[in-house]
Copies of this chain bind each other. A is one copy, B any other.
Amino acid sequence: MTNANATLADVARLAGVSEITVSRVVRNLGPISENTRQKVNSAISKLDYVPNRAAGMLASAGSNLVAVLLPSLSNIVFPEVMRGIAEGLRGTGHQPLIGVTDYDPLQEEALLTSFMSWRPVAVITTGFEHTETTRRMLSSGRIRVAELMDIDSQPIDLAVGLSHRSAGQVTSRHLADLGYRRFGYVGHDWTADRRARLRYDGLVEGLAERGLSIVAETLNPGPSSTEAGKAALATLLAKGAAPDVVVFSNDDMAVGGYFHCLAAGIEVKRDLALFGFNGLEIGQCMPAPLSTLRSNRFLIGKQAVEVLLSTPKRPDETQTIDTGFEIIVGKTA
């Protein structure tokens, strides 16, 4: 209360001890007599002392910061990854420095530049698409780097996620096994979301194995959303290709597709089957639970942090962790 910006020295003076002793009490380090500890603690609360991390960091040449670069917060998938990261960080004394790139590598570079000046112990980002500068910043140091969501390329240091190409393949095999033959595809902007593109590629490959192919597709410009999925399915069906199943770029889009079917009087599965990606809660609440693939977003974030913090210095070998996916059978396909 007395002083909004008391320093170690102030506390030391009031407690009648040296600064370093206060520092030790604060950090719970080394042997301190019960007596001094009490004097110090009482001085601390009397002065409302709050340590200055900037000074601490400068003196010890080490931060407790983890830089986190997320493409978006609007897509619920990333908050879930973030929850996993927060869970991994809990109790370690580390703090996340969060930035949102809007799927833009230049934004990512700008944020990273700014974050690097805080000397984070690790950087967590998304995917493998970075600017040259970003790549240099990430590669040059011995700082640990995790690239999340995707494991279809070679990481700088650590990749944690799932194979989206393989997810696409599994989707087509699963649906082909169920007897579907006329595949439609409804997606969103690929240039921003490269993983959606990988799933599409896998889907096409899986179909080719069975001698099948996509009979009609609609790509909605802009990001994925329920509205986009609804509109795009309407557009697709208007083309007249009469698919018996439509694969969506993700669950948000698929839920929109489901709404279109409800509104248009299309009986889902009998008239038209729907398949998504992610396994979001909302899809599983629908009167007909969405058939989809579950990605383990929380786990991706959590695992990444655990690996990063368990080995503070970057190993010579890169590492890839596959968090996998599972088919959710549902009732829409």
Contact = CB atoms under 8 A, between A and B. Distances in A.
B54 A58 contact: yes
B4 A53 contact: no
B83 A74 contact: yes
A271 to B, nearest CB: 16
Contacts of A263: 287
A52 interface: yes
A224 to B, nearest CB: 11
Interface in A85-120: 86, 95-98, 100, 113-114, 116-119
Nearest to A53: B117
A76 to B, nearest CB: 6
A23 interface: no
A230 interface: yes
Nearest to A51: B117
Copies in the complex: 2
Q: Would you call the interface of chain A mostly helix, strand, loop, or mixed? A: helix
Interface residues of A, number: 52
Nearest to A227: B285
A206 to B, nearest CB: 30
A23 to B, nearest CB: 13
Interface string A244-276: 000000000001100100110000000000000
Interface in A56-95: 56-58, 63, 73-74, 76, 79-80, 82-83, 86, 95
Contact of A259 (B82, B86, B113, B287): B287
Interface string A269-293: 0000000000001101111000000
